Amino acid sequence: MEPMFEIARWLHIVSGFLALIVLWLPMVTRKGRKLHRQTGWVFVISMTAIAVTAFYMGVYRIVWDAGTEPDSISFSWFLIFIAILSGATAWYGVRVLRFKRRETPHREPLDLFFALLLLIASIGIIVYGWAIHFQLLQYFPIIGLFLGGSQLYYWLSKPKSMSHWVVEHIVGMLSCCIAVITAFIVFGAPRLLQVESVHLLLWFLPTIIFVPLIIVLTNYYGRKFAFLNKEEKRG
């Protein structure tokens, strides 16, 4: 195993554990306050490291070290998809804050690129998953299909409410949470517990839990920030 791969693997592990520890803090701390912003940035930096190292390790496994295990290639493609999902959603979650005051369609090439990359990658992995009859790759990328499409729609559309940015920020950040927890269940937990396989339901458990949470939080904070904006204009 090359030293570069070993460095990437350890950076991935450390960043993954850091993200798992810190991801809960931005959820429970008061939005907009210092602690929320600081822990949020720690999470984003951790997810960036996860995305970069996961992409590198996935490509490395496919191109130079496919191995003899029957699922080695398929799990490597899943690792690459998780990298794209993590990177695209983290980027989106940060960038919607940067342009929260926009009132017109947004056509920044890099923002559209990440959304389009997630959309195309999701379609490709789904097709690949059906071709090899691997359920994780057949169904999990559907969330990326939805997110990539919704990101493109958001950027190319005129905002319909004053609280649009907070809703999309929550969607981006909690989607990152789905990515990191799913990756831990698929790769990390089995190795720590020394088990050969994990039940399919556990692979989808983060999505099952976080999607309703996303719906609840976006509705709550969407209404809250819309009300605060109206009060601010009246004042």
Q: 130-181: per-residue pLDDT in tens?
A: 999 988 899 999 999 999 999 999 999 999 888 889 999 999 999 999 999 9
Query: pLDDT at position 235, please?
Result: 55
Q: In this structure, how many other beta carbons lie within 10 angstroms of the beta carbon of residue 1?
A: 8
Percent of the chain whose predicted confidence (pLDDT) is above 70: 88
Measured between its terminal Cα atoms, the distance across the chain in Å is: 63
Query: pLDDT at position 51, please?
Result: 95
Query: pLDDT at position 49, please?
Result: 96
This prediction's pTM: 0.89
pLDDT at 68 over 60: no
- Give the Å distances, CA to CA, from 151 to 11, 21, 106, 123: 29, 27, 11, 15
Query: pLDDT at position 90, please?
Result: 96
Query: pLDDT at position 19, please?
Result: 94
Query: pLDDT at position 203, please?
Result: 80
| Mean pLDDT within 42-69 | 87
**What is the domain partition of the chain in residue ranges?**
3-228
pLDDT at 226 over 80: no
Percent of the chain whose predicted confidence (pLDDT) is above 90: 57
Q: In this structure, how many other beta carbons lie within 10 angstroms of the beta carbon of residue 112?
A: 15
pLDDT at 234 over 70: no
Query: pLDDT at position 223, please?
Result: 83
Query: pLDDT at position 123, please?
Result: 97
Token duo for residue 201: 């339901």
Dihedral angle, C-alpha 230, 212, 173, 26, nearest 10 °: 80
pLDDT at 69 over 70: no
Query: pLDDT at position 158, please?
Result: 93
Q: Which string of b and e fits 122-161 if b means at least 16 CB within 10 Å? A: beebbebbeeeebebbbbbbebbbebbebbbebbeeebee
Q: In this structure, how many other beta carbons lie within 10 angstroms of the beta carbon of residue 108?
A: 11
